């Protein structure tokens, strides 16, 4: 099968609250590729812990699938319920409660499900700037995963410290190495500042460093494939930490000076009116 017709298997992890971010990200992927796309939504009901930890419901999955199929009739969206796996493998551990939501560690639970051998994991704050099918040309055969260098982590943690917001996962090799299971075991007994990301970096044996274009954590460049709206630091004219997400259109335009997603915003506005979704911040 050629790259042009090969299925893209994309996975996000999150609760109902971040569905607008997921929809924006998926819309940006569909905008740029002709390939069929399967989006896996790893979610879970942890509302017994916090009221906001509600799972992505079936009706939101259906909306996403309908949107994807408007571009390619073979595309689909699939819900993955990770509650039991999370409670069994991470519940009660040292990192069970941290500065991130439990869904941030959801990628460590992917081995619990029957999934394709090759997966593209994306954080919910990642947007696509060009054809995501470019990732299909990356040779993953010798590796557990592929990821780009973390802009801040390379200075403060290690030179080869990778950002886990965009990862190409070789599920076959991950099953052989047990990396995801070992990462869960580590987080059960040890508290880490960046739990799942640091566990993966610490325990991986075979990883491929991706070019910056696959996880651009700063300004969009001509060759950017994925723009990651992650936390950043401005040093001038004064030190400031910023964390602007893609649904914050006012600041994406005004502070980040990014306008390449305006057609995606227009499509989201149409869908928000039709389905009663949360409006974008303007």
Model pTM above 0.85: yes
Least confident segment among 77-81, 127-131, 185-189, 237-241: 237-241
The confidence score (pLDDT) of residue 235 equals 61
Average pLDDT, integer, range 44-61 = 97
pLDDT tens readout for residues 102-120 = 999 999 999 999 999 999 9
Distance between CA atoms of residues 81 and 223, nearest Å: 36
Average pLDDT, integer, range 246-254 = 97
pLDDT band at 64, cuts 50/70/90? very high
pLDDT tens readout for residues 181-204 = 999 999 999 989 889 999 999 999
pLDDT band at 86, cuts 50/70/90? very high
pLDDT band at 24, cuts 50/70/90? very high
Least confident segment among 165-169, 205-209, 239-243, 276-280: 239-243
The confidence score (pLDDT) of residue 74 equals 98
Domain architecture of the chain: domains with CATH:
8-213 (3.90.550.10)
Percent of the chain with pLDDT over 70: 96
Using the predicted structure, report yes or no on whether residue 47 has a pLDDT greater than 50: yes
Using the predicted structure, report yes or no on whether residue 263 has a pLDDT greater than 70: yes
pLDDT band at 1, cuts 50/70/90? very low
Average pLDDT, integer, range 133-153 = 95
The confidence score (pLDDT) of residue 3 equals 52
């Amino acid at each position: 099968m050629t790259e042009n017709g090969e299925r893209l298997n994309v996975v996000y992890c999150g609760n109902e609250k971040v569905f607008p971010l997921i929809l924006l990200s998926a819309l940006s992927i569909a905008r740029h590729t002709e390939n069929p796309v399967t989006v896996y939504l790893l979610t879970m009901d942890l509302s017994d812990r916090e009221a906001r930890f509600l799972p992505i419901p079936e009706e939101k999955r259906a909306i996403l699938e309908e949107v994807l199929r408007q571009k390619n009739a073979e595309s689909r969206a699939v819900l993955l319920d990770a509650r039991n796996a999370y409670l069994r493998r991470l519940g009660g551990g040292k990192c069970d409660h941290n500065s991130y939501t439990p869904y941030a560690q959801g990628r460590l639970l992917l081995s619990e499900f029957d999934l394709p051998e090759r997966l593209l994991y994306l954080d919910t704050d990642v947007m696509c700037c060009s054809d995501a099918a470019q990732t299909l040309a990356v040779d993953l055969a010798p590796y557990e995963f592929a990821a780009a260098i973390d802009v801040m982590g390379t200075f403060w943690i290690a030179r080869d410290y990778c950002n886990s917001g965009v990862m190409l996962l070789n599920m076959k090799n991950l099953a052989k190495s047990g990396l995801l299971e070992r990462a869960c075991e580590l987080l059960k007994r040890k508290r880490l500042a960046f739990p799942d990301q640091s566990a993966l970096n610490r325990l991986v044996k075979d990883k491929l460093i991706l070019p910056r274009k696959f996880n651009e954590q700063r300004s969009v460049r001509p060759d950017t494939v994925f723009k990651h709206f992650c936390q950043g630091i401005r040093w001038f004219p004064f030190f400031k930490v910023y964390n602007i997400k893609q649904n914050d259109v006012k600041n994406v335009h005004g502070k980040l000076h990014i306008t390449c997603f305006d057609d995606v915003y227009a499509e989201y506005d149409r869908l928000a009116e039709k389905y009663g979704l949360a409006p974008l911040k303007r």
